[in-house]
Structure 1
Amino acid sequence: MLNPLKGAIQALFFVAIWLVAQRFVTVYHLPVPAAVVGLFFVVALLLAGVVPAHHIAAGANWLLGDMLLFFIPPLMAIIQFRSLLASHGLQILAAIVLGCLTVMVGTGLIVERTLRWERSRLHGITARRGAKS
């Protein structure tokens, strides 16, 4: 039987790696999600032998086991509404793809505008401080 505390501590290792990766992405302005960078960090630690696989296996298994909670409801919907998918599957797929693309593009544009506004605001504050000196 798996010790729940051991699994939780190992899961916290992955959270810590993600936090380090998030900081790394922020400092170096990388156009890659912190989760991807964190994945590379974990792989590097495993390959270098710094962290043996058995020291993080319980936490990884626990996190992967809980990921199923996110995938089961859509699979149940597919099974339950098979006839709807047969008649309108391409339309539903197109709506999902277009919806995802719209959300991603919209989010990217809003984040970009917000960052530009933030930079211009900070630049204005810095310029005013320099003029006062």
Structure 2
Amino acid sequence: MKKGLTILLQIGIIIAFTWIGDYIVSLLHVPIPGSIIGMILLFFGLHLGLIKLNWVQAGATLIISEMMLFFIPAVVGFMEYSWIFGIKGLGVLFIVVSGTALMMIATGVISDRILERKDGEARKWLPRFFI
């Protein structure tokens, strides 16, 4: 029971950052989704030590492990626009495949550099906040 409550509180912290991001977007009329602004704020809060990792780690792990459930509404909504598959299907497919490949390559390169950094072979060009 206690562990479940802890995870709910941690998810609540993450959601609070999302709401703060939404509030900032509504105030400043920034063309970036509020959830992205909130996650950037959470990232910098963690990086600067304002938020401890153990305050959000278990909740974030649960959210990430169940991430596929969060895509179901988007996929169902996408089915409403089935004409996209016929008219612009190849373009959408190209964007999805190339975007996925670029993200996989970038993640591999960055994680490789971080592991090298931990072994003492630092790369000069890697930004400090990735370390």
TM-score, reference length from structure 2: 0.53
Aligned partners of 1:2, 1:68: CA distance in 2, in Å? 26
Deviation at 1:65, TM superposition (A): 1.5
Deviation at 1:66, TM superposition (A): 1.7
Is 1:41 the counterpart of 2:4? The answer is no
Aligned partners of 1:92, 1:7: CA distance in 2, in Å? 44
Letter in 1 for 2:4: P
> Can you list the C-alpha shifts for 1:26-83, whole angstroms capped at 9, x where unaligned?
10010000111011100110011011112110110111122133569xxxxxxxxxxx
Aligned partners of 2:21, 2:70: CA distance in 1, in Å? 24
Contact 2:19 / 2:35 at 8 angstroms: preserved in 1?
no
Give the one of 90, 94, 97 matched to 2:92: 97
Total equivalences in the alignment = 81
Gaps of 5+ in 2: 73-84, 94-131
Aligned pairs for 1:1-133 (under 5 A) are: 3-70=3-70, 94=89, 97=92
Q: CA RMSD in A?
A: 3.0
> Can you list the C-alpha shifts for 1:82-112, whole angstroms capped at 9, x where unaligned?
xxxxxxxx969817839xxxxxxxxxxxxxx
Aligned partners of 1:95, 1:70: CA distance in 2, in Å? 25
Contact 1:10 / 1:60 at 8 angstroms: preserved in 2?
yes
Aligned partners of 1:17, 1:65: CA distance in 2, in Å? 20
Aligned partners of 2:61, 2:88: CA distance in 1, in Å? 31
Query: Which structure is higher in helix share?
Result: 1
Moved over 3 A (4+): 90-93
Looking at both structures, which has the greater relative contact order when contacts are Cα pairs under 8 Å and sequence separation is at least 6?
1
Deviation at 1:17, TM superposition (A): 0.7
TM-score, reference length from structure 1: 0.52
Q: Structure 1's 92 and 43: CA in aligned 2 closer, same or farther, altered over 3 A? A: same
Gaps of 5+ in 1: 73-89, 99-133
Percent identical residues: 27
